[in-house]
Amino acid sequence: MVYSSKKYRYVIVDSQLDDINDLQQLLGDYTNYVCVGVARNKNEAINIILDQLPHLVFFDTELVDGIVKNTSFCIIPEVYQLLHSLPKFIAMSLSTLHSYEAIKSGVFDYILKPLNYYDLKKTLLRFENIQPDISSICIKSFTEFKFLKVNDIVYLKADNNTTDFFLIDGSMVTSYKTLKNFETELPNIFARIHKSYMVNVNYINKIHFSKFHCSLKYTKTLIPFSKSLKFKMMEIKDLWMNGTFEGFEQQINLI
């Protein structure tokens, strides 16, 4: 398992279900990559990309519609005309037949099927190496826009259709977005451990497994975690004990 503090959204565009499953299985080893949509044709692809604004789009160079094969490169210029922030497109194909068209279309990378773990890993490393650090997030509250440093956020709490951000200085900021939105917007040092709570795992200092709650630095509030999400707390504990979570800064007490 590969664990990182940064989080990236991706979309898959492929008409072959087996290939979709293969890619999702390979990406399952990367906890910082979140699938936000799967499209089986051009129109679905454009709609999902415009709606979800992914960082990456994995697309098969040919989409099968019945017995007809259509090239999928036409998706790229249509998206480029409509978005200011552009995803990186990664072409997938059974051969190098479309490699020249891929270069002309400006794709980020070209991967041959069947997908290989190491080829995919090299692509993801190249992508991550050009990404800026995620150090702040913009929060809309009433008519204001506030920029919060992610390291200043201790935990988030859902409140109907809004989300409250609790900060290290004891203050609170309300956003008019649901908690679910922030699961993909915030970096991977934030974990949703309850239907109403996300926590900055850097600030966990005690996990009480028998009582299903944890305590955090900078607050006296005990944060519950769901029985159904206990496995996430176990993952956090294991990743810390194995030294594989790059964000941990202090020891966690386990009860």
In a domain, 156, yes or no: yes
Are β-strands 33-39 and 8-13 bridged in parallel, bridged antiparallel, or unpaired? Answer: parallel
Residue 197 lies in a domain: yes
Band of pLDDT at residue 137, cut at 50, 70 and 90? confident
Average pLDDT, the chain: 87
Do 45 and 150 reside in the same domain of the chain? no
Mean pLDDT computed over 103-120: 95
Provide the 10 A C-beta neighbour count for residue 72: 25
Asked if the structure places residue 67 within a domain, the reply is yes
Query: Are 137 and 147 within 8 A, CB to CB?
Result: yes
pLDDT, tens digit (0-9, with 9 covering 90-100), for 70-85: 889 999 999 999 987 7
Label each residue of 66-78 as H, E or C.
CCEEEECCCHHHH
- Higher-confidence residue of 17 and 242: namely 17
CATH number for 161: 2.40.50.1020
In a domain, 3, yes or no: no
Q: Please check whether residues 182 and 225 belong to one and the same domain.
A: yes
pTM score, whole prediction: 0.64
Q: What is the CATH number of the domain that holds 25?
A: 3.40.50.2300
Same domain, 18 and 108: yes
The single residue listed with the structure tokens 């951000």 is 165
Residue 11, judged by CB atoms within 10 A of its CB (0-12, 13-18, 19+), counts as buried
Return the pLDDT at 1: 46
Q: How confident is the model at residue 100 (pLDDT cuts 50, 70, 90)?
A: very high
| Whether residue 184 is found in the same domain as residue 146 | yes
Number of independent structural domains in the chain: 2
Q: Is 1 contained in some domain? A: no
Q: What angle do CA 187, 191, 195 make, to 5 degrees?
A: 130
Instruction: pLDDT band for 133, please (50, 70, 90 cuts).
Output: low
Q: What residues make up the domain containing 243?
A: 136-254
Q: Is the pLDDT of residue 233 over 60?
A: yes
Query: Torsion over CA of 116, 245, 233 and 193, rounded to 10 degrees?
Result: -80
